[in-house]
Structure 1
Amino acid sequence: MLKIFIFLVFSSFLYSQKLYSVNYSNQADLKVYVVKYENQADLKVYKVNYENQARGNDGKWFFVKYENQADKKIYFVDYENQADLKIYFVRYENQAGWRNKSKMALMY
């Protein structure tokens, strides 16, 4: 029982945020809308340059080249009311993070 608990706790820290942007909404695990202002977002996202920088569920995303490499497939919608998650792209890594923690489960 203890081994299972330890595995679950540590696996949540190791979870990676590798994403692939699909062309059609029915292919996506998650529909995402990019808001204009930071205070409208559920998640502030920083796009990292390397896969190993995208660890944890803290808004650091790495976009992979191939669908089978992704943890999540996302589709960028045109309208806010179509989205499961609203994001805002930040300029600096330390700005990334959740504003609406009730939506965190969407990225696991």
Structure 2
Amino acid sequence: MKLLNILFFVIIFLGISNFGFSQKVFSVDYQNQADVKVFVVKYENQADLKVFKVKYQNQAGDNNGKWFFTEYLNQADKKIFFVEYENQADLKVFFVEYENQAGWRNSAKKHLMY
């Protein structure tokens, strides 16, 4: 019985901690609606964050570059706006082809996605 209680609390804790840091994003239409302004760079070495777009919400990472784009604003943890010019951005990203390529190149900007 005690083992079941411990297991229950561990499952709850993991569920809450994963929820708090998941990378569910929504792309807003206007800059003033965004939490983070994002610019997509042409080359990987120019990026602060290498992003991999996952297909399902449960695959979203905990601030490690695995993003799930939500269909609705209220489902997202972060609202992002893609800017036209690099100097307008809070965060520069590069979209990668493979999941294992995702991650931070500039960890000083990591706080933007918490």
Q: What TM-score, normalized to structure 1?
A: 0.88
What corresponds to 2:95 in structure 1? 89
Q: Aligned residues: percent identity?
A: 72
Count of aligned pairs between the two proteins: 100
Q: Is the 8 A contact 1:14 1:55 kept in 2?
A: no
**Whole-angstrom distance in 2 between the partners of 1:47 and 1:68:** 19
**Secondary structure of the equivalent of 1:23?**
coil
**Whole-angstrom distance in 2 between the partners of 1:12 and 1:51:** 12
- RMSD over aligned Cα atoms: 1.6
- AA at the equivalent of 1:51: Q
Between Structure 1 and Structure 2, which shows a larger proportion of helix residues? 2
Shift of 1:12: 6.8
Shift of 1:55: 2.6
> 5+ residue gaps in structure 2?
1-12
Q: Is the 8 A contact 1:13 1:55 kept in 2?
A: no
**Secondary structure of the equivalent of 1:103?**
helix
Q: What TM-score, normalized to structure 2?
A: 0.83
Q: Is the 8 A contact 1:33 1:87 kept in 2?
A: yes
Higher Cα Rg: structure 1 or 2? 2
**Whole-angstrom distance in 1 between the partners of 2:54 and 2:99:** 8
